Amino acid sequence: MEKEKAAPSEKKAALEAIRAQFKGTDTKTQCDRLLAAFALFSVTTFEAMRFLDVYHCPARVLQLRKAGYRIVTHWQTVITEGGTKHRVGLYTLESGARNEATA
């Protein structure tokens, strides 16, 4: 599956499989889920919350950045099932993944 090329249903299934693989709610497990997802896709805050059980994605992204991962934020507007628009971050792990100073 190539980054960004999966159909929405394939992406959802892949994210749910990652959630099932990394069980737990501690911050390390949540970061591990995000890193596994970033290896396949860019992930929105909304997707992280709904499919990865990462309920405060910006905090986990900040932790990963402090650990040396290069994660870029792009802003998007998504519409929820209820029809409400929300501005959310779309997070992408840059190639190379970690800053050389921390690798």
Q: Does a structural domain hold residue 55? A: yes
Domain region containing 88: 8-98
Q: Does a structural domain hold residue 67? A: yes
Of the CA atoms within 13 Å of residue 49, those in its CB half-sphere come to 12
Distance separating alpha carbons of residues 33 and 18, to the nearest angstrom: 6
Total tally of structural domains belonging to the chain: 1
Q: Are the beta carbons of 40 and 17 closer than 8 angstroms?
A: no
Q: Are the beta carbons of 65 and 50 closer than 8 angstroms?
A: no
Question: In this structure, what token pair is assigned to residue 99?
Answer: 């800053």
Q: Does a structural domain hold residue 1? A: no
pTM reported for the whole predicted model: 0.84
3 or 91: which carries more pLDDT confidence?
Answer: 91
Q: Does a structural domain hold residue 85? A: yes
Report CA 88 to chain centroid distance, whole Å. Answer: 12
Instruction: Give the residue carrying structure tokens 């190379």.
Output: 96
pLDDT in tens, 6-59: 788 899 999 999 999 999 999 999 999 999 999 999 999 999 999 999 999 999
Q: Does a structural domain hold residue 37? A: yes
pLDDT in tens, 74-98: 999 989 889 999 999 999 999 765 6
